[in-house]
Structure 1
Amino acid sequence: MPSARPRLLYVTDLAYPARGRRYCDEDIHLTARLREDFDLALCHPRDVRALMDAFDAVVVRNSGPVLGYQDAHEAFRAHAVRTGARVYNPLTGHADMAGKQYLLDLTVAGFPVIPTVDSAADLHRLPPAERYVVKPRLGADSIGLRVVSAGELPALTDGTVLVQPRVDFAYEVSFYFVDHDFQYALYAPDPDRRWRLQPYEPTPDDLEFARRFIDWNGIGYGIQRVDACRAQGGELLLVELEDLNPYLSLDALPEAGRDAFVEAFRASLRRFLAV
């Protein structure tokens, strides 16, 4: 059973060089606030397996792309499953936590997602486009992403990559959830500056769009970010469902918004530890 002051192992890579973002600032702010309720230690993702048994739960936050420490991540997951360790977010997500297969699954299921295929035999299923995006199945943070012409696709589509039409969009927008509760939305008015974010007031239709993916993923506890683009026709299309370690861009929120998120995060952790 958790102690009176639960012990949290907070996983972050404070030195990860994210483009346009400072992971360390966000996690310093969050851990300072969480210490009001929890006994807490920070941990690099490569050290989780060696340290996790001494804590009531592991909280995975800004730990960077798993590709940078794949062996350590697999050892951590295997140990967590074997011992029944509490991990937040729970390791049951079907989205980025498990790779990019979900983009294929959602395409087949008819969800509003950028059309995605992974084989040369399925290229005809994609709408015609001037350029196409090719990215690794296990990619993250745009690592390995390429923009190519249609003529280059057959030679590149070997099952290890995903192919999507390059969408001409008006802007990108992200919806942030704690458990299944919407918290805030941010958008990038300039498509060339993905991380120059501003608060966004979602419409009821926007929230219905985002909640559809949260419901599909089925995680009972945790932080998720639904990334979408506003196509020229006005519709939203899913770009990514981040359910492992979504960066929160809290610095783009007013102080009241940051405080509200922290309170939702702390309440979620309390509920999670009480289960």
Structure 2
Amino acid sequence: MTKIAYLASRVTLPGSLVRRTDAFEHDLMMDALRGPFAARGLTLEDLSWDDPKADWASYGAVIIGTTWDYWDRLDEFLAALRRIESQTRLFNPVALVEWNIRKTYLRELEAKGARLIPTVWMDVADEASARAAFDTLGAEDVVFKRQVGAGAKGQHRLRRGEAIPEMPHAMMAQPFLPMIQTEGELSFIFIDGDFSHALVKRAQPGDYRIQSTYGGREEKIAPSADDLAAARAIIAALDEAPLYGRVDMLRGADGGLLLMELEVLEPYLYPVEGPELGERMAAGVARRLAL
């Protein structure tokens, strides 16, 4: 049996005293992957990316999974990934992770034809630059997000004139689009470049954040041909297909989809909505390892 490591974190591993409220998603991923991996002679083990006792060279490959504390330990996290990749195969590769970990990658995808929500980039998010973003965007309702972050951590939705909270990180500002509260956010999962499944994520009434931590819920969908083509184009813009990728999109006023995120680093892949995910992932790893 070939050992495969599934990278988690102290805040997602079972039994952790500091476990996140959404760490059940880690359990769902492990439940979905273990059986199909075992059927291909692959033993899947979950461990924290910062485990000092881990012998990375003993694993045939390492998959970046629920590493959901990296944004506050960025340099340490990237150094750990480089160390892992020097000893075994890493999925997805560290070069792709380093590109994807800062949301400024969206500008490169825009240059390749991706449609984005209008965005103001703020390396220093002080009160003056935050207030100026409302004018630049021509918006009365703006969402401020960390350039390095996930799960809506450090995110603020502000109306013009409201007090500006402290934002000590590099930020991005986008107009709030009501479609997030009506249709919801669409996610398209790709494994080895092939479409796996799609879903819509909706916030609970009164909120706009679609993550499960805030009461968000998901529903599997069969995307239209046009919507799927828009998501495929995002994956196709990469130099090569990653082992996994999740394309998050929101419908614009003209009916077309706008890119919110391309997640090729630690995304939750919604195995409940895509029961074939485990087999697809196992097959993808086996192909890449030529097993």
Taking structure 2 as the reference length, the TM-score comes to 0.78
Q: What residue in structure 1 maps to residue 193 of structure 2?
A: 180
Q: Kindly state the Cα deviation for residue 89 of structure 1 after the two structures are TM-superposed.
A: 1.7
**Amino acid across the alignment from 2:259:** L
Q: What residue in structure 1 maps to residue 280 of structure 2?
A: 264
Identity of aligned residues (%): 28
| C-alpha distance in 1 between matches for 2:141 and 2:226 | 29
**CA 1:61 to 1:159, structure 2 compared with 1: closer, same or farther past 3 Å?**
closer
Q: Kindly state the Cα deviation for residue 190 of structure 1 after the two structures are TM-superposed.
A: 5.5
1:203 matched to 2:224? The reply is: yes
**Amino acid across the alignment from 2:158:** V
**Amino acid across the alignment from 2:248:** D
Equivalent position SS for 1:28: helix
CA root-mean-square deviation: 3.2
1:78 matched to 2:91? The reply is: no
Q: Kindly state the Cα deviation for residue 98 of structure 1 after the two structures are TM-superposed.
A: 2.4
| C-alpha distance in 2 between matches for 1:213 and 1:187 | 18
**Amino acid across the alignment from 1:43:** L
Which deviates more from structure 2 when the two are superposed, residues 127-136 or residues 206-215?
127-136
**CA 1:197 to 1:139, structure 2 compared with 1: closer, same or farther past 3 Å?**
same
Q: Kindly state the Cα deviation for residue 265 of structure 1 after the two structures are TM-superposed.
A: 1.0
How many residues are matched? 265
- Structure 2 unaligned segments of length 5 or more: list them: 123-128, 211-215
Decide whether the 8 Å contact of 1:90 with 1:222 is kept in 2. no
Which deviates more from structure 2 when the two are superposed, residues 234-243 or residues 224-233?
224-233
Q: Kindly state the Cα deviation for residue 60 of structure 1 after the two structures are TM-superposed.
A: 1.5
**Amino acid across the alignment from 2:199:** L
| C-alpha distance in 2 between matches for 1:96 and 1:22 | 25
**Amino acid across the alignment from 1:133:** V
Equivalent position SS for 1:47: coil
1:60 matched to 2:64? The reply is: yes
Q: What residue in structure 2 maps to residue 45 of structure 1?
A: 49
| C-alpha distance in 1 between matches for 2:83 and 2:246 | 26
- Structure 1 residues 230-249: aligned runs within 5 Å: 230-249=251-270
**CA 1:157 to 1:22, structure 2 compared with 1: closer, same or farther past 3 Å?**
closer
- Structure 1 unaligned segments of length 5 or more: list them: none
Decide whether the 8 Å contact of 1:226 with 1:242 is kept in 2. yes
Q: Kindly state the Cα deviation for residue 210 of structure 1 after the two structures are TM-superposed.
A: 0.4
- Structure 1 residues 110-259: aligned runs within 5 Å: 111-119=114-122, 120=129, 123=133, 126-150=136-160, 160-169=170-179, 170-188=183-201, 192=207, 194=210, 195-251=216-272, 253=273, 257-258=274-275
Decide whether the 8 Å contact of 2:120 with 2:136 is kept in 1. yes
**Amino acid across the alignment from 2:282:** R
Taking structure 1 as the reference length, the TM-score comes to 0.82
**CA 1:36 to 1:110, structure 2 compared with 1: closer, same or farther past 3 Å?**
closer
Instruction: Choose between structure 1 and 2: higher helix proportion.
Output: 1
Q: Kindly state the Cα deviation for residue 14 of structure 1 after the two structures are TM-superposed.
A: 2.4
